[in-house]
Amino acid sequence: MSTDRLVVIGGDAAGLSAAAQARRLRPAGDLEIVVLEQGPEVSYSACGIPYWIGGQVTDRDALLARTVAQFEADGIVIRTHARAEEIDLAAGEVSASDGRRYGYDHLVVATGGRPTRPPVPGLDADGVHGVHRLADGADIRAAIAAGAKRAVVLGGGYIGLEMAEVLLGRGLSVTVVLADPLPMGQLDDDMGERICKAMGDMGIDVQPNQPVREIEVDADGAIRAVRTDAGSYDADLVVLGLGMGPEATLAEEAGLQIGTTGGIDVAHTQRSRSHPEVFAAGDCAQTFHRITGEAAHVALGTHANKQGRVAGSIIGGRPARFAGVLGTAATKVGDLEIARTGLCTTEAEKAGYDHRSEVIEATTRAGYYPGAEPIAVKVITEGGGPGCCSAPRSWAGPAAASGSTSSPPPSGRGSPPRNWPPPTSPTPRRSHRPTTRWRWRPAWSAGSRPADSGLATRPDSPGGAPGGILIIRYSAVHVLPRSAEHAHRDP
Ligand SMILES: Cc1cc2nc3c(=O)[nH]c(=O)nc-3n(C[C@H](O)[C@H](O)[C@H](O)COP(=O)(O)OP(=O)(O)OC[C@H]3O[C@@H](n4cnc5c(N)ncnc54)[C@H](O)[C@@H]3O)c2cc1C
């Protein structure tokens, strides 16, 4: 029996999910698996980097899910410090920086994402840090240990907010500079305002509507301040939280088709649409929005793992497909918990839906019951008459709904880099019919991360199309101690 070879480029969530799943389905005698990783380690959790910086995670190695030795024990060969430099699609070979050429029968490209870096002077200075690899976390920890006192975070997506919070916790003064009017750019304004207020209440200085113009640097190369049109903010440390784009250069140079979002254009099977013999998965790949059906790019580990598993399943001989994303995410700022799924009103508007929304101000459990905390839920649906957005009774109670609005939604946002929900097509689509059934799943709890399958929907929506749901939960009196809360994170 001849042995096939699978080469995987990228040794983190997507690449190693693909490798592990292929190995589960095909033994070493049938499939040789080689993973090329340009960095020093594999299978690390970028999600945990802010909490390692913040000190909630004290052991760096706790961020390593599996070691090279563990993979090799499963017959998966890992080559670290081996950067794939060229893919020769015609020859079926990958050239790597270790001087070798790796022939393949199956190829998975899982090169991940790269932090968005606007082209402003000074951005390459030493004190400017992305938050992407473990080395970035080490650099930021070292800067704090060396005495950094003033941090400026550029961008207000979830990584920017997580970083602002942990830097504040480490005793730095923190300014968050936003190009947008509000943090978390693709939440609706009314929800973004609550987040902005929570940040201010914590002591984070939020500076909205200010695209960064320059990182001011001393003659000796040390950063001094971040300059915008409105002012200059002193900084010893600058952190990039401007979003994550796909790292698809290698694939593009090889001739793989790139999609409208900049990610590798793949089908639901994770096969390249231009070269179906090649798979791509994770942050480097484009995907689909499950409501609009449009192309989307959402850089989250939860998708990377699933997409990698789909590729690995197919290579292992088992049919599989990735259904797409809903833009589901959950995070927190201080004690304010934030979650969303589906389309917010600006996205629904862009996609051409006739939509309406309601905000329900209620409590997380019956108001008289110990532990009841305020919660605001925004529900967005397509079309529908009065009551189409009514809340489930277990959340809101009979008299809890307020703040009903109908389209058009709040607008006025610009279009700088976003790093959270997916971009949606500006093309009006008015005849969309969904395949998803609606059902309520009010099981949102502290620290939990709802799965994309948890879209709250209803079966009798007049327009038939699913809307979105945004949930903001206040936890002024938090029921979980901090340590327990972090233990419940599922990055
Ligand atoms: C601060 C932070 C917090 C996050 N929090 C969450 C969260 O709470 N929940 C969540 O779901 N997601 C979260 N994410 C996102 C999540 O980490 C990513 O979506 C996920 O890691 C993507 O996995 P990936 O395998 O596609 O890419 P990556 O993790 O980026 O891995 C790609 C790998 O490929 C390697 N590589 C690239 N090019 C080459 C090459 N030419 N040759 C060899 N190797 C190469 C890279 O070195 C890298 O190791 C967070 C990300 C960050 C940065």
The amino acid sitting at 215 is I
In percent, the amount of the chain with pLDDT more than 70 equals 78
Annotation says 344 is catalytic: no
Kindly state if the Cβ of 83 falls inside 6 Å of ligand 1: yes
412-416 average pLDDT score: 30
Which residue among 283, 452, 489 is best mutated to probe the pocket of ligand 1, counting the most ligand atoms within 8 A of its Cβ?
A: 283
The amino acid sitting at 191 is M
| Sole residue written with tokens 């916790």 | 169
| 304 C-alpha to ligand 1 centroid (Å) | 8
| Token couple for 23 | 């190995």
**pLDDT surpasses 90 at 216:** yes
Kindly state if the Cβ of 94 falls inside 6 Å of ligand 1: no
Kindly state if the Cβ of 39 falls inside 6 Å of ligand 1: yes
| 112 C-alpha to ligand 1 centroid (Å) | 5
Sheet architecture: strand order including 278-280: 76-79, 31-36, 4-9, 106-109, 278-280
Kindly state if the Cβ of 325 falls inside 6 Å of ligand 1: no
Cis peptide before 450 (omega within 30 of 0): no
**Which pLDDT band, with edges at 50, 70 and 90, does 468 fall under?**
low
Q: What separation in angstroms does the CA of 48 have from each of 39, 76, 172, 438, 449?
A: 18, 25, 20, 33, 14
The DSSP call for residue 422 is P
Which is higher by pLDDT, 174 or 390? 174
Which residue out of 47, 284, 388, 389 is catalytically annotated?
47
| 65 C-alpha to ligand 1 centroid (Å) | 13
Kindly state if the Cβ of 111 falls inside 6 Å of ligand 1: yes
Instruction: Output the pTM of the full model.
Output: 0.83
Enumerate residues 6+ apart whose C-beta is below 8 A from 249.
none
pLDDT of 490: 30
Burial 201-237 (b: 16+ CB within 10 A, else e): ebebebbbebebbebbbeeeeebbbbbbeeeebebbb
Pairwise CA distance, residues 42 & 35, whole Å = 10
Instruction: Output the residue whose Cα is nearest ligand 1's atom 6.
Output: 47
In percent, the amount of the chain with pLDDT more than 90 equals 65
Pairwise CA distance, residues 208 & 174, whole Å = 14
Instruction: Output the residue whose Cα is nearest ligand 1's atom 5.
Output: 47
Instruction: Output the residue whose Cα is nearest ligand 1's atom 39.
Output: 111
Residue 299 CA: which ligand 1 atom is closest?
19
| Residue whose C-alpha is closest to residue 6's, from 78, 83, 73 | 78
| Token couple for 126 | 């030493």
**Run of H or E residues at 295:** strand 295-296
Kindly state if the Cβ of 10 falls inside 6 Å of ligand 1: yes
pLDDT of 472: 56
**pLDDT surpasses 90 at 364:** no
91-120 average pLDDT score: 96
365-375 average pLDDT score: 90
Averaged pLDDT of the chain: 82
268-289 confidence digits (pLDDT tens): 999 999 999 999 999 999 999 9
**pLDDT surpasses 80 at 160:** yes
32-59 average pLDDT score: 96
Which residue among 7, 8, 9, 12 is best mutated to probe the pocket of ligand 1, counting the most ligand atoms within 8 A of its Cβ?
A: 12
Residue 133 CA: which ligand 1 atom is closest?
53
Kindly state if the Cβ of 12 falls inside 6 Å of ligand 1: yes
182-215 confidence digits (pLDDT tens): 999 878 999 999 999 999 999 999 999 999 999 9
Kindly state if the Cβ of 236 falls inside 6 Å of ligand 1: no
Length of the chain: 491
Pairwise CA distance, residues 35 & 398, whole Å = 56
**Which pLDDT band, with edges at 50, 70 and 90, does 82 fall under?**
very high
Which is higher by pLDDT, 349 or 270? 270
Kindly state if the Cβ of 14 falls inside 6 Å of ligand 1: yes
154-160 average pLDDT score: 95
301-335 confidence digits (pLDDT tens): 999 999 999 999 999 999 999 999 998 888 889 98
pLDDT of 441: 34
pLDDT of 443: 31
**pLDDT surpasses 60 at 450:** no
**pLDDT surpasses 50 at 465:** no
pLDDT of 469: 57
Helices (DSSP H) in 358-404: which residue ranges? 393-396
Kindly state if the Cβ of 108 falls inside 6 Å of ligand 1: no
Burial 396-427 (b: 16+ CB within 10 A, else e): beeebbeeebeeebbeebeeebbbbbbbbbee
pLDDT of 489: 34
376-409 confidence digits (pLDDT tens): 888 888 875 444 333 333 333 322 233 333 332 2
Which is higher by pLDDT, 488 or 210? 210
Instruction: Output the residue whose Cα is nearest ligand 1's atom 16.
Output: 301
| Residue whose C-alpha is closest to residue 106's, from 280, 304, 267 | 280
| 357 C-alpha to ligand 1 centroid (Å) | 34
| 411 C-alpha to ligand 1 centroid (Å) | 32
Kindly state if the Cβ of 247 falls inside 6 Å of ligand 1: yes
Kindly state if the Cβ of 184 falls inside 6 Å of ligand 1: no
pLDDT of 463: 32
**Which pLDDT band, with edges at 50, 70 and 90, does 471 fall under?**
low
| 307 C-alpha to ligand 1 centroid (Å) | 13
pLDDT of 313: 97
Of 169-183, 281-295, 357-371, which gets the smallest average pLDDT?
A: 357-371
Residue 300 CA: which ligand 1 atom is closest?
19
Inter-residue contact 184 to 190 (CB < 8 Å): no
